[in-house]
Amino acid sequence: MKAQHILLWIPMLSIGFNSNAQSQEEQIYKNIQFHKAGDALLSSEILIPCKGLINNPSADLNWIPGLVHEMKESDPKEINQDQLAKIRAEAFAKKMKQERGPSGNGNSGSLAVTPNLGVNYIANKSNGWSPLDNHVAISNKGIIISVANDTFEIDDSTGNNLYYNTLNTLINDPTIPNACDPNIVYDAGADRFIFYCQEVTSSGGPNHMMVFFSKTNNPATGGWYYFKLSGDPLSTGDDADYPKLAVTDKDLYISSNLFGSGGSFDQAIVWQIQKSGGYSGGTLATKLWSGIVSSPFTVMPVGEGQGNPYGPGCWMVATNSSSGSAIELYQTTNDEANSPTMNHYSVTTTAYSAAGNTPQKGTSTQLKITDARALSGFYLNGLIHFTFNSQDASGNTAIDYNRLDVNAKTNTSKLFSVNGTDFGYPAVASYTADGVTNDKSVMIGYAACSSSMYPEMRVVSCDDGMNFGTAITVKAGLNYVSGSSTERWGDYSGMCRRHNSPQACCWMSGSYGNASNTWEAYVAQIHDAGFATNIQEPVSKQLELKTFPNPVKDIFTVDFTSDQDVNINVSIYDMEGRVVKDLYTGFCHQGENTFWFNKANLSSGSYILRIQAGDNKLLHQKIVIAE
C-alpha cells in the first residue's frame, strides 16, 4: 500500500551506518543462484548482516508529539484490475438493489460464545494515514505491541502505555526516511517479538524490507536487532508490498508481492530465514523462494495457533484475488538449514468472488475493499484456519472463513454476512483456554460499515462445529471517513491469542471512523463472560517496566508549510511569553506538513503554538483551552 502521510525521520541514536552500506548491500544479491526445489525455485544461501542494536527512547507518553509530511494517497496494487473493477461494480449494484435494512450483527449458533469486551483503548494515535494497517501481538508476560501506519506502541495488559514512537524514529535509519506496512509477531517458543515494516517509495521502484528481532522478552527496554533486506532481491527493478509473516520452530517466513514499474504485478516471493541469527544479533542465514508454481498473488504462511511452533517446514495458502473455486496450498518440507523443497497442491473449495465497495453513512465517499486475497490464518492440529473477503449471494461483503485439512487436502468454508452491512478485513485467532488443543473454535475481528452506519470494529466467534455466534461491536464509528469518490478501507486487521491464559482470551487491533473524519486505531481484549480480569502476570526480572497511567488524549492538529527542508523547533508559550513545553525538535520536509500533540496536558487558558526554523517563524498560532 501507499499512504496518505509520511512520518519524518528524526535523528536520535546512531547505530553505526557507514557510507559503503549501499554498495555492500548490492553485492549481497549479485551472486544469488537459483535451482529448482520441487514446485518453486530456491536461492543459494543469502547472508544478511545485522545493522546494529536499536534502542531509541520513547517519545513523551503524555504529550505524544508527532510530525508528518503529506504524501498523495495511491490506489492499492492489485492483479487483474479490469476484471476486479467489473466484479466490484456488479457486486455493489447487486447489494444496493437489495432491501438495505438496519445494520445487523449476525446470527447466533448453538455453541458459539457471545464475546465480551475487556480492556480497550485508543492506541497508535491517528496522524492521517489511510489505511492504518493495524496489527497486534501479546506475549505470555502480558506485553502488548500494537503497530499501525506509522506508529509503534507497547502497553501492558491493563492498557498502561510503556513505549510510544513513530516508526521512523524507532528505526532511526537515515537511508530509510519513510516506513509503512508494519507487522508484529510474538514467537512463543523463543519468548521474543519479531517486528517488520517496509520502505515507502514515493515514485515506485526498489525499496527495502526491515526486520527487527527483540533482544529480550521486553523490547520496551531491551531494544531490537535490526536487519535490512532488499525489496528487489531479483534485481529486476521491483518493489515489495503486502507482507505476510509466520514463525515455525526454527525459521521466520516473510512473503511479499513484487511489483514492477507502473504497479504491475511480477510475482510472489517467500523469504525463509533462520531465527537464531536474528535473536543473537549475528547474521541472518536466509533462502529465497521465487518462481512459485501457479503464480499466486499473496502467499500467506501460517504459524501455529496456540504458541507451539511447528516444523520442520511451513504451510502456506493463496487464494485467487478476483474469483475462484480453489485454494492453492504450499508446503516447505524442511528448515532453511536442511535443503527444503516446496510442494504445491490445488484444493477445491466453494466458489468465491471479490466484493464491491461499501457505502458510508452521511457521505457519498465509498470505502474501497481489497480483493479476495488471503488475509489472516494459523495452523493447528492438521488444519489451516484462514479468512479473506468475498461476497454473499446478495452482493454484501462477507467474511469467508475456511478450515483446510492439510492431510486430506480438502477445504470447508463458511460465509458470515448480514444483508445491509459490509464486513471487511477479517483477522482470525484460535479461541480456547491454555492447554485446550482439541477445540477448533476461533475468534474473528473485522471492520463493519453500511449506508446507515459509520465505519466500526466488531468481533464474532465461530465454534468447534463451525457455527457463528452473535457479533458484538468493539468500537462504534463516530463519523464517516472523508475522501474523494473512494477511500481506502484497509489492508489488514490484527487478532492474536493470549496463549497462556487459563480462560479463552484474544486481543484485537483495528480502526474506526473518528469524529475528525479520519481513521483511529483501537486495541481491545476479547474474552468470555466471567473472565478473571485480575490474572496475576508472571514475575520476571526482565520485565521491570516503568508504567505510566494512560493520559487523557485530546489531540490538537495543525497544518503548516515549509518552503525548504529544514530543522524546526515546536514549542508552546503562555501569553507572557514563557515556554510551557518544548514539544519537538527535528527535521521537516519542504511542502505541506502536519504537527499534532495532546493538548489535554494544558490547563484552561490561552497559549501560543510556535513552529520555528532558526529565526524564521513558520507558524504562530493562538490556542484557547476551555474549562
* Mean predicted confidence (pLDDT) in 573-584: 93
Mean pLDDT (whole number) for 298-317: 97
pLDDT at residue 370, rounded to an integer: 83
Place of cell 455466534: 469
Find residue 473's DSSP bridge partners: 458
Of the chain, the percentage scoring pLDDT greater than 70 comes to 86
Class in CATH terms, 552-625: mainly beta
Mean pLDDT, residues 515-527 taken together: 94
Domain boundaries, given as residue ranges, for the chain: 69-113+128-543, 552-625
| Distances from the Cα of 476 to the Cα of 91, 459, 482, 546, 581, angstroms | 25, 12, 17, 32, 34
pLDDT tens-digit map of 181-210: 999 999 999 999 999 999 877 556 678 999
With cut-offs at 50, 70 and 90, classify the pLDDT of residue 546: very low
| β-strand pairing of 251-259 with 208-214 | unpaired
For residue 175, pLDDT over 90 is answered with no
CB 501 within 8 A of CB 142: no
Residue 57, pLDDT score: 86
Q: Which residue has the higher pLDDT, 157 or 93?
A: 157
In whole angstroms, what is the distance from residue 306 CA to residue 591 CA? 48
- pLDDT at position 15 over 50: no
pLDDT of 508? 98
How far is it, in rounded angstroms, from Cα 270 to Cα 87? 29
CB contact at 8 A, 419 and 394: yes
The whole-number average pLDDT for the span 257-280 is: 94
- Separation between Cα atoms, residue 127 and residue 588, nearest integer Å: 16
Tell me, what's the pLDDT at 204? 60
Residue 77 confidence class, pLDDT cut points 50, 70, 90? low
What is the per-residue pLDDT for 232? 93
* pLDDT value for 177: 72
Q: Does the pLDDT at position 500 exceed 90?
A: yes
Task: For residue range 340-366, list pLDDT tens digits in order.
Answer: 999 999 999 999 999 999 999 999 999
Write the pLDDT tens digit of every residue in 397-435: 999 999 999 999 999 999 999 999 999 999 999 999 988
CA-atom Rg of the chain in angstroms: 23
Q: What class does CATH assign to 69-113+128-543?
A: mainly beta
pLDDT score at 553: 65
- For the stretch 17-52, pLDDT in tens is 444 555 567 678 888 999 999 999 999 999 999 999
First-to-last CA distance in the chain?
A: 42
Give pLDDT, residue 539: 35
pLDDT (tens digit per residue) in 109-165: 446 789 999 999 999 876 667 888 999 999 999 999 999 988 899 999 999 999 998
* pLDDT for residue 543 is more than 50: no
What is the per-residue burial (b if ≥16 Cβ within 10 Å, else e) of 585-622?
ebbbbeeebbbbbbbebbeeeebbbbbebeeeebbeee
Residue 295 pLDDT exceeds 70: yes
542 confidence band (pLDDT: 50, 70, 90): very low
Query: Residue 545: pLDDT above 50?
Result: no
Ranges 87-91, 323-327, 543-547: which has the least confidence = 543-547
Confidence of residue 565 (pLDDT cuts 50, 70, 90): confident
Mean pLDDT over 532-556 rounds to: 48
Q: Would you state the pLDDT for residue 86?
A: 73
Q: Band of the pLDDT at 591, cuts 50, 70, 90?
A: confident
Alpha-carbon separation of residue 87 from 321, 544, 556 (angstroms): 11, 53, 41
* pLDDT at residue 1 is higher than 50: no
Q: What is the mean pLDDT of the chain?
A: 87
Q: Residue 585: pLDDT above 60?
A: yes
Average pLDDT rounded to a whole number, residues 575-582: 93
According to the model, what pLDDT value does residue 537 have? Answer: 44
SS (H, E, C) 497-508: ECCCCCCCEEEE
Q: Is 116 exposed, middle or buried (0-12, 13-18, 19+ CB in 10 A)?
A: middle
Identical fold, 69-113+128-543 and 552-625: no
